[in-house]
Amino acid sequence: MILIHCPYCDEKRPEIEFANAGQAHIARPLDPSGQSDADWETYLFIRANPRGRHHERWRHIHGCGRFFNAVRDTVTDKFETTYKAGEPRR
Amino acid sequence: MSGFRLETGGRIDRSQPVRFDFDGKTYQGFAGDSLASALLANGVMLFGRSFKYHRPRGLVAAGSEEPNALISVNRGPGRFTPNLRATGVEIHDGLIATSQNRWPSLAMDFGAINDRLGMFFPAGFYNKTFMWPRSFWDRVYEPAIRKMAGLGDAPTTEDPDVYASTYAHCDLLIIGAGPAGIDAALGFMDTNKRIVLIDEQDELGGGALADPALWPWLERSVKALTDAPNVTILTRTTAFGYYHDNFIGAVQRLTDHLPDVTDAPREKLWRIRAGEVVLAQGAIERPLVFDGNDTPGVMLSSAAKVYANRYGVAVGKALALMASHDSGWHDVFALAKAGVGISVIIDVRESVDSALILEASRLGITVYLNHGVVGVNGRHNVSSIDICDYGDQRVSRIDCDALLMAGGWTPSVHLWSHSKGSLKWRDDLGAYVPDVPNENVHCVGGCSGDWDFGTGAIIDMLPTPKDQSRIKAFVDFQNDVTAKDIMLAVREGFRSIEHIKRYTTNGMATDQGKTSNLNGLQIASSALNKPVTDIGLTSFRPPYTPQTFGALAGHAKGALFQPTRTTNIDDWAQAHGAVFELVAQWRRARYFPHSGEDMHAAVNRECVAVRSSVGIFDASTLGKIEVVGPDAAEFLNRMYTNPWKALEPGRCRYGLLLKEDGFITDDGVSARLAPDRFHLTTTTGGAARVLNMMEDYLQTEWPDLDVWLTSTTEQYAVIALQGPNARKVLEPLLEGIDLSAEAFPHMAIREGRICGIETRLFRVSFTGELGFEINVPTAYGRAVWEQLMAQGAQYGITPYGTEAMHVLRAEKGFIIVGQDTDGTVTPFDAGLDWAVGKKKPDFVGKRSMARSDIVALGRKQLVGLLTDDPNLVLEEGAQIVADPKQPIPMTMIGHVTSSYWSETLGRSIAMALVAGGHDMTGNTLHIPMPGKTHTAKVSGVVFYDPEGARLHV
Ligand SMILES: [Zn+2]
């Protein structure tokens, strides 16, 4: 069972306290109605599926409840880093 | 009869005889014996029948790598365990064990005909033969194969045992308490590290248990470790899996070795998080591959040493050794010292260390170098062996009653591999050893390839002058895979060991190839004429040895399998005969049958009571979220399809929640209590999902909004009071709330007191009748419910369950999200476009409602269905077709989502999702169901009181 560092609690906790919330750094467009079908499709459906470094969102759902971002290696399943929502991509 | 108890020696307690049963016969052993050693001491050599050919099989090993001696232990009703290795079963008085895979008896087995037909059972036989005809599979092939094949019998009754589990944390976890593991523990004992030392055997020592010279050291070491306050010792404990971040699963066997069955936990699952792990799992001796190497009496030389030195048992009276490695010579010398008769050493090598030759000659042992065994005689036990002189190819026969194999050593890298550490090939060992770790872990001793067993030649199989196609030289004993099978797989084009493994099943038995993987790899490598490192390596996966489901499940079974959430009114429902159903994790009353009533009758009565007088319903399971803050209305306006900003305090609104893709995900009635405070409700099953979704938007998309979300689902008991007499029942119990239609209209909320208890009183209806939902603090739920029951008695107040609730809402065309929607239904599809704020610039899902496929024609839309036969209730989930005469497979244009008998309407009603359904009103559709295709006319979804006159009273 992986240990995940919650950047809000600043503690490593077992993965069962967390929930994955999909790819990170996909901001909801500020003006959805102004989006072309293609842009909206990209926002809604198009996701990366990298072999290696992957930016993901996680929620410390059975802890502080905060969403945060993480870089996880999809091959080794190791977390490289985690950081607070709103901080720049690492 | 071959094995026997030595006069002296061993760690058994000869003062404590133990009586046990094997295959119905009583035997005697001593305390400290394994089932294997005790049976060997009684001359038993035949332990089971093999998986495919039902060949007689005896012991190969003395430890958990044993591939053959799988037995069942019966500890009474429900306590039957198949597929235990006899080498790991400690005997106790009254132990009842049986052999497996034999019929009618171990000595005379019917299935052994498979062995005579062995020519016809090559690798991939099942894949090739049983493919055709398809219809034969279910009726002929599978039943026959199931009867003949398989390992042991599955238990047939529920397991009455209790299993414990615990978490543990330590600085240093040492797995394996042989000399290397014990040395590691001693080395760190005087630090302040918390150390856990675990070993699968009943006592510490590992290989040292078979080396009497080490016993004084062992005794001192075990005492020191036992006395050390920072060292926890777990014996009879198997570390079965190594997971991320030094998380190790281990099962401790607590009571199976005790004579009496008690109610104490049988096993304990340890979940251990370690700062650092030391793997000291040792190495496993490798069998040699030659014709007849599976005959009972042919075993690993290290095993014979364990039986002699640890258990005081000789595996035979006249032993022979077939070696390709020095370690076998040392074992044999130790056996001679222990009094076991060993007459012959055969070694495939042309020369060996002269010291070995000298010692053999001193002990009077005849040595054959550059020789190999090419045949084993005797079916139920070795009687003699044929050896071939590789110089002149001459074959001669030697009498013996046990043949030892010494084919070198395989480091036990299973847990290292679980942890994703990499391996490197060592030509000198002919084995993979740990290379780069992936966790904070070190390997010490045998499992790192570090041993003092001497050297050896690494060979794939012993050369033989015999025709390869006529011999059975086993590689995987448990799965009956021969060298020939692997060579056939290569001839048929398999190149990677991963594929060869799956085609031949080599290494896929319950022992995961502990004794067979490396031999299989070498044989494939020779057949492919490629280095071993070019054909890959199969992965080890947990568990290291088979573990019980009981240990893994622990307490999570029966009522504790998952939590059951109950409301404060649940006890009352139970006491009043409710029939319950599980909704999400909630236990909900489904209906309240009177004596003699079936569900149909009870639901009809409950529905009629609500429509004609008053019904009472426990709605406490509704999800509830308190939304508070200056931006609360703005937040809800962005989340829900409806406009919220103009909603006045004291009023309610039906809220429809979409996902960003435009599809309905939840709904519920919510109330504005104050400008900055809302009381949301969600579906019972959707509460957690909705809160998560709202938190997501609030935290990550709109962190600027000043809003707080709190789950209040369990803070309130909710009682729905529904029916034309609801107001009359409620009125006398209220304080501070004017219930009149003018003061308290439909879709409003008031705060006051009921029976003296604070309440949030909603005037809402999921039935189409005048209705209220009374929210009180959870602890008062039942008390208020009982007051309402007393007050309502004069009106025949009737408790109703979820089934009647479903009928009543369906009569009104109210949808259930997840039943009438399926994650691909838009508000328009569901006929809920009235709930979408057209003027709102944005809300979650709005942009998607303009996507081309969502505005396209032919989408499935929610309609009502009225069957032409009013008495026929359609099956929910039934498919719908436009033309029943079309050829099969028909084009299905939709399906029935909700279907009930409506007692109020005196007929059946249904809702369905039908392609283009909104334009089909009045059309006849066809619903094929078992036996008959039914017809129904498309209608609107509101079957009862379409004007809503009954609500506004
Ligand atoms: Zn946290």
Q: Which pLDDT score, from 0 to 100, does residue B101 have? A: 73
Interface touch B247/A19, C-beta < 8 Å: no
Nearest to B847 among A32, A57, A67 (CB): A32
CA-closest candidate to residue B172, choices B180, B181, B161, B159: B181
Residue in chain A nearest B709 by alpha carbon: A65
Q: Which pLDDT score, from 0 to 100, does residue B648 have? A: 97
What 3-state class would DSSP assign to B915? strand
- CB B207 within 8 Å of CB B172: no
Residue in chain B nearest A65 by alpha carbon: B695
Question: Are both B278 and B424 inside the same structural domain?
Answer: yes
Residues of A with CB under 8 A from a CB of B: 1-3, 15, 19, 21, 27-28, 31-33, 35, 37, 40-41, 44, 57, 59, 61, 65-67, 76-78, 85-86
Q: Name chain A contacts of B697, Cβ cutoff 8 Å.
A: 28
Q: B145 alpha carbon to ligand 1 midpoint, in Å?
A: 54
Place of tokens 């305090």: B649
Q: Which segment, B67-81, B276-290, B455-469, is predicted with the most confidence on average?
A: B276-290
Q: Name chain B contacts of A2, Cβ cutoff 8 Å.
A: 244-245
Nearest to B848 among A31, A44, A59 (CB): A44
Residue A56 lies in a domain: yes
Rounded CA gap, B241 and B546, in Å? Answer: 11
Return the axis-axis angle of helices B483-491 and B497-504, rounded to nearest 10°: 120
Interface touch A67/B247, C-beta < 8 Å: no
CATH classification of the domain holding B78? 3.10.20.440
Q: Which pLDDT score, from 0 to 100, does residue B451 have? A: 84
Question: Are both B278 and B418 inside the same structural domain?
Answer: yes
Question: Are both B100 and B189 inside the same structural domain?
Answer: no
Q: Which pLDDT score, from 0 to 100, does residue B111 have? A: 65
Question: Are both B276 and B413 inside the same structural domain?
Answer: yes
Q: A5 alpha carbon to ligand 1 midpoint, in Å?
A: 8
Q: A68 alpha carbon to ligand 1 midpoint, in Å?
A: 9
Q: Which pLDDT score, from 0 to 100, does residue B379 have? A: 86
Residues of B with CB under 8 A from a CB of A: 243-245, 247, 271, 420, 438, 660-661, 692, 695-697, 699-701, 703, 841-842, 846-848, 850-852
CATH classification of the domain holding B862? 2.40.30.110
Residue A59 lies in a domain: yes
User: Is the model more confident about B123 or about B474?
Assistant: B474
Question: Are both B101 and B234 inside the same structural domain?
Answer: no
Mutate: best of A23, A40, A62, A84, partner B, most B CBs <10 A? A40
Rounded CA gap, B708 and B676, in Å? Answer: 10
Q: B275 alpha carbon to ligand 1 midpoint, in Å?
A: 22
CATH classification of the domain holding B191? 3.50.50.60
Q: Which pLDDT score, from 0 to 100, does residue B133 have? A: 58
pLDDT of B609 over the 70 cut: yes
Question: Are both B11 and B114 inside the same structural domain?
Answer: yes
pLDDT (tens digit, 9 = 90+) per residue, B280-302? Answer: 999 999 999 999 999 999 999 99
Q: A8 alpha carbon to ligand 1 midpoint, in Å?
A: 5
Q: B190 alpha carbon to ligand 1 midpoint, in Å?
A: 36
Pairing mode, strands B757-763 and B879-881: unpaired
DSSP string for residues in B521-575? HHHHHHHHTS-GGGS--PPP-S-SS---HHHHHTT-SGGGSS--B--TTHHHHHH
Question: What mean pLDDT do residues B226-243 have?
Answer: 98
pLDDT of B152 over the 90 cut: no
Q: Which pLDDT score, from 0 to 100, does residue B116 have? A: 62
pLDDT (tens digit, 9 = 90+) per residue, B552-604? Answer: 999 998 889 988 999 999 999 999 999 999 998 999 999 999 999 999 999 99
On the 0-12 / 13-18 / 19+ scale of CB atoms within 10 A, B380 is middle
Q: Which pLDDT score, from 0 to 100, does residue B137 have? A: 59
Q: A82 alpha carbon to ligand 1 midpoint, in Å?
A: 11
- B414 token code pair: 């299973």
CA B731 to chain centre: 54
| Last residue within a domain, chosen from B104, B126, B148 | B126
Q: Which residues on neighbouring strands pair with residue B628, listed in sequence order?
A: B677, B708
pLDDT of B183 over the 90 cut: yes
| Last residue within a domain, chosen from B82, B111, B126 | B126
Nearest to B847 among A33, A57, A86 (CB): A33
pLDDT (tens digit, 9 = 90+) per residue, B388-433? Answer: 999 999 999 999 999 999 999 999 999 999 999 999 999 989 999 9
pLDDT of B150 over the 70 cut: no
Residue A16 lies in a domain: yes
pLDDT of B126 over the 60 cut: no
Question: What mean pLDDT do residues B793-818 have?
Answer: 98
| Last residue within a domain, chosen from B396, B421, B453 | B453
Q: Which pLDDT score, from 0 to 100, does residue B526 have? A: 94
Nearest to B692 among A35, A61, A76 (CB): A61
Q: Which pLDDT score, from 0 to 100, does residue B304 have? A: 98
Distance of residue B168 Cα from the nearest chain A Cα, in angstroms: 13
Residue B525 lies in a domain: no
Q: Is residue B127 very low, low, confident or very high in pLDDT (cuts 50, 70, 90)? A: low
CATH classification of the domain holding B701? 3.30.70.1400
Task: Report the 3 state secondary structure along chain A.
Answer: CCEEEECCCCEEEEHHHCEEEEECCCCCCCCHHHCCHHHHHHHHHCCCCCCCEEEEEEECCCCCCCEEEEEEECCCCCEEEEEECCCCCC
pLDDT of B132 over the 90 cut: no
Distance of residue A3 Cα from the nearest chain B Cα, in angstroms: 6
Q: Is residue B753 very low, low, confident or very high in pLDDT (cuts 50, 70, 90)? A: very high
Residue B523 lies in a domain: no
Question: Are both B171 and B119 inside the same structural domain?
Answer: no
Q: Name chain A contacts of B244, Cβ cutoff 8 Å.
A: 1-3, 15, 77-78
Residue in chain B nearest A3 by alpha carbon: B245
Question: What mean pLDDT do residues B620-631 have?
Answer: 98
The range of the structural domain enclosing residue A19 comes to 3-29+39-84
Residue B386 lies in a domain: no
Residue B517 lies in a domain: no
pLDDT of B495 over the 80 cut: yes
Q: Is residue B81 very low, low, confident or very high in pLDDT (cuts 50, 70, 90)? A: very high
pLDDT of B119 over the 60 cut: no
Question: Are both B271 and B208 inside the same structural domain?
Answer: yes
Q: A60 alpha carbon to ligand 1 midpoint, in Å?
A: 5
Q: Name chain B contacts of A19, Cβ cutoff 8 Å.
A: 692
On the 0-12 / 13-18 / 19+ scale of CB atoms within 10 A, B131 is exposed
Distance of residue B262 Cα from the nearest chain A Cα, in angstroms: 33
Residue in chain A nearest B693 by alpha carbon: A21
Rounded CA gap, B391 and B899, in Å? Answer: 86
Q: A59 alpha carbon to ligand 1 midpoint, in Å?
A: 8
CATH classification of the domain holding A80? 3.30.2270.10
Mutate: best of B165, B272, B422, B847, partner A, most A CBs <10 A? B847
Interface touch B699/A66, C-beta < 8 Å: yes
pLDDT (tens digit, 9 = 90+) per residue, B511-539? Answer: 889 999 999 999 999 999 999 999 888 88
pLDDT of B859 over the 60 cut: yes
Long-range CB pairs of B501-504 (<8 Å, 24+ gap) are B501/B538, B503/B123, B503/B124, B503/B127, B504/B123, B504/B124, B504/B476
Place of tokens 């690494």: B458
Residue B355 lies in a domain: no
What is the count of residue pairs from A and B with beta carbons less than 8 Å apart? 55
Question: What mean pLDDT do residues B439-462 have?
Answer: 92
Q: Is residue B128 very low, low, confident or very high in pLDDT (cuts 50, 70, 90)? A: low
Distance of residue B166 Cα from the nearest chain A Cα, in angstroms: 15
Distance of residue A21 Cα from the nearest chain B Cα, in angstroms: 9
Q: Which pLDDT score, from 0 to 100, does residue B130 have? A: 53
Q: Which pLDDT score, from 0 to 100, does residue B151 have? A: 72
The low-confidence residues of chain A, meaning pLDDT below 50, are none
pLDDT of B853 over the 80 cut: yes
Question: Are both B274 and B423 inside the same structural domain?
Answer: yes
Nearest to B847 among A3, A19, A35 (CB): A35
Question: What mean pLDDT do residues B470-488 have?
Answer: 93
Instruction: State what percent of residues in chain A have pLDDT above 70.
Output: 100
Residue B53 lies in a domain: yes
Q: Name chain B contacts of A35, Cβ cutoff 8 Å.
A: 847
Residue B826 lies in a domain: yes
Question: Are both B263 and B119 inside the same structural domain?
Answer: no
The range of the structural domain enclosing residue B24 comes to 4-126
Q: Which pLDDT score, from 0 to 100, does residue B140 have? A: 62
Domain count for chain B, please give it. 4
Question: What mean pLDDT do residues B669-693 have?
Answer: 96
pLDDT (tens digit, 9 = 90+) per residue, B45-76? Answer: 999 888 888 889 999 999 999 999 999 999 99
Residue in chain B nearest A62 by alpha carbon: B692
pLDDT of B121 over the 70 cut: no
Nearest to B841 among A19, A27, A33 (CB): A33
Distance of residue B712 Cα from the nearest chain A Cα, in angstroms: 16
* Vertex B779: Cα angle to B617 and B587 (nearest 5): 45
Question: What mean pLDDT do residues B495-504 have?
Answer: 91
Interface touch B245/A3, C-beta < 8 Å: yes
Nearest to B852 among A35, A37, A44 (CB): A37
Q: Which pLDDT score, from 0 to 100, does residue B452 have? A: 83
Mutate: best of B242, B245, B697, partner A, most A CBs <10 A? B245
Rounded CA gap, B934 and B917, in Å? Answer: 18
Phi then psi for A50, rounded to 5 degrees?
-75, 155
Mutate: best of B165, B167, B243, B244, partner A, most A CBs <10 A? B244
The mean of the pLDDT values for chain B is 94
Question: Are both B78 and B178 inside the same structural domain?
Answer: no
Domain count for chain A, please give it. 1
Q: Name chain B contacts of A57, Cβ cutoff 8 Å.
A: 700
Residue B630 lies in a domain: yes
Residue A90 lies in a domain: no
Question: Are both B826 and B911 inside the same structural domain?
Answer: yes
Q: Which pLDDT score, from 0 to 100, does residue B141 have? A: 61
Residue A34 lies in a domain: no
Q: Name chain B contacts of A85, Cβ cutoff 8 Å.
A: 699-700, 703
Place of tokens 């030392």: B197
Q: Name chain B contacts of A27, Cβ cutoff 8 Å.
A: 701
